[in-house]
Amino acid sequence: MKLFILNDDVNSFEHVTKVIQKYLNYPYMQACSIASIVHNSGQCEVKKSDDEELVRELYKGMVSEGLHLKLESDYE
C-alpha cells in the first residue's frame, strides 16, 4: 500500500514539514524536500509498505493533523 501527501491551499510548508517529521520520522531536510515536491508537483509518495495496518495508521494520524492524503493499493 502507498501513502501520498497531496498539495492544498490550507496547510503551511512548515506545518507539513513538522507532520512529516512527527509521523514518518524523517530528518528535517528530507521533510522539507518532500514538502517542496508536494507543493510543486501536487503530490508525493511518502510511504510504501506491505503492512497495510501501519500505512492506515499513518494515514489516520496525518489526516488528524489536517494534511490531505491519498492511499493507493499496490493492486491498482
Q: Which ranges of 1-76 would DSSP assign to H, the alpha helix? A: 13-24, 28-41, 52-64
CA distance 52 to 42: 24
For residue 65, the number of C-alpha atoms closer than 13 Å in the C-beta half-sphere is 20
CA distance 3 to 72: 7
pLDDT tens-place string over residues 3-36: 999 999 999 999 999 999 999 999 999 999 999 9
The CATH number for 18's domain is: 3.30.1390.10
pLDDT tens-place string over residues 25-64: 999 999 999 999 999 999 999 999 999 999 999 999 999 9
Angle, helices 28-41 vs 13-24, to 10°: value is 130
Domain boundaries, position 18: 2-72
Structural domain count of the chain? 1
